Amino acid sequence: MLSLKEYARRLRIWEANYGRDGGWVIERHGIPIAILTEPRDEEMFWDSYRLEIVAEDAQLREQMLTNEFWAKAEAEGLVWRNREFGDIAASAFPGLSPFPEPGRLIMRGLYLAIGNPQPWDRIVLWARSWFHRGRG
């Protein structure tokens, strides 16, 4: 059974579109190299994000603008950490053509896998959204 704190966190993850809305930090060997924000649906199962490269190494920054870099994301040791929750998306990967337009990176599986809300959870989520709308 979940504690109240764990349940509230779960609700927040669902509200944040499974973590997508909070954005992501791309880490390479534990060092942040890019930030992904502004998620947008592209195709079924694919989302794109605004890509902000924060790597200090000029050569790495240049490599990150190539398809080849993203094709070997797993070999590069990239980790996709959620900015709001700190959790890692275990099965995320970039597309073979990773740039649907300049400044955006297309991704699949970039979400926090916590399962879908049950009917009771949906009622709680609706009530929370109603309450927040009324106060905003």
pLDDT tens-place string over residues 9-50: 999 999 999 999 999 999 999 999 999 999 999 999 999 999
What's the angle, vertex CA 124, arms to CA 81 and CA 5, rounded to 5?
Answer: 50
Domain around 103:
19-113
Q: Are strands 78-82 and 24-28 parallel, antiparallel or unpaired?
A: antiparallel
Q: 77 with 28: CB under 8 angstroms?
A: yes
Indicate whether 91 and 122 sit together in one domain: no
Say how many domains are in the chain: 2
Instruction: Report the helix count and the strand count for the chain, using DSSP H and E.
Output: 4, 6
* pTM as predicted: 0.90
Indicate whether 74 and 94 sit together in one domain: yes
pLDDT tens-place string over residues 59-93: 999 999 999 999 998 888 999 999 999 999 999 99
